[in-house]
Amino acid sequence: MTDPNALPLIDSRLDGGVLTLIMQRPAKKNALTRDMYAALTDLLAAADADPAVRVLLIRGAGDAFTAGNDLKDFLEQPPADESSPVVRFLRALCTVRKPLIAAVQGAAVGIGTTLLLHCDLVYAGESARFQLPFVNLGLCPEAASTFLLPLAAGHRRAVELLLFGEPFGALEAQRAGLINRILPDAELRPAAEAAARQLAAKPLAALLVTKELLQRPFRDPVRQAMDAELAAFYPRLRSPEAAEAMEAFFAKRKPDFSRFQ
């Protein structure tokens, strides 16, 4: 029997022009570590340079997409500058040239939701549960979500999702413009793979130029929003509110922010 600990944390499979990236840490709901961010960044860059890759598909192993950052790993070496694996991943995500499809079931927390704003197509299973808990953790949003989410959902809905940070289901995600279709969980993976194969059969140059033209009006605002968010995120990580939120998380208690101004 294969030792699950020997499996790569990011599995990549190329078949018929479709490169499938699988976040493969199901026991932790595919919570992302520094090593996983680094692997994803390298795979995205390699895929863009590889003529055999025409379309990318990202999904999680098991019953979750990703629970977001592995907080223990995240706090051991928090992002401090552009060299941080998570920052490099965010930069790669918003500049990948080839079509990127996401198949989401179960938990999609934090970056598990914001990364979807950079995908070209998103399919969700009925079990999908999204959450943007940044404020609840004493932090601020990332991945240019303060620009892209209002664009997709409208300003007032984006404010509600980001300030309250409550979980929401696939139907609300579809209403907010985060996903294209909702499918029964059993049909999610086949549907996403069929869509990827359909795109992979089209002329690659036409796909690339169409995606580039679609992104062109938003390229500078996305970069500016991401820069502004990161500039705010770094000091937020060192704030007393974030320390209280993290301490409460690991102690499994409700945080108390009443003493902070």
> What is the average pLDDT value for the chain, to the nearest integer?
95
pLDDT band at 7 (very low <50, low <70, confident <90, very high): low
Which segment of 64-68, 128-132, 194-198, 254-258 scores lowest on mean pLDDT?
Answer: 254-258
Q: What is the total count of domains within the chain?
A: 1
Angle subtended by helix axes 155-164 and 145-153, to nearest 10: 130
Residue range of the domain that includes 51: 4-186
Whichever domain contains 64, its CATH number is 3.90.226.10
- 69 inside domain: yes
CA dihedral 67, 151, 81, 232 (to 10 degrees): -100
5 vs 233, higher pLDDT = 233
List of E strands, 115-248: 121-125, 129-131, 168-169, 181-183
> Mind listing the pLDDT tens digit for each residue in 33-75?
999 999 999 999 999 999 999 999 999 999 999 999 998 888 8
Per the domain annotation, does 50 fall within a domain?
Answer: yes
One-letter amino acid identity for 10? I
**For the segment 104-162, what is each residue's pLDDT rounded down to a tens digit?**
999 999 999 999 999 999 999 999 999 999 999 999 999 999 999 999 999 999 999 99
**Residue 124, in any domain of the structure:** yes
Put simply, whether the predicted model's pTM sits higher than 0.85 gets the answer yes
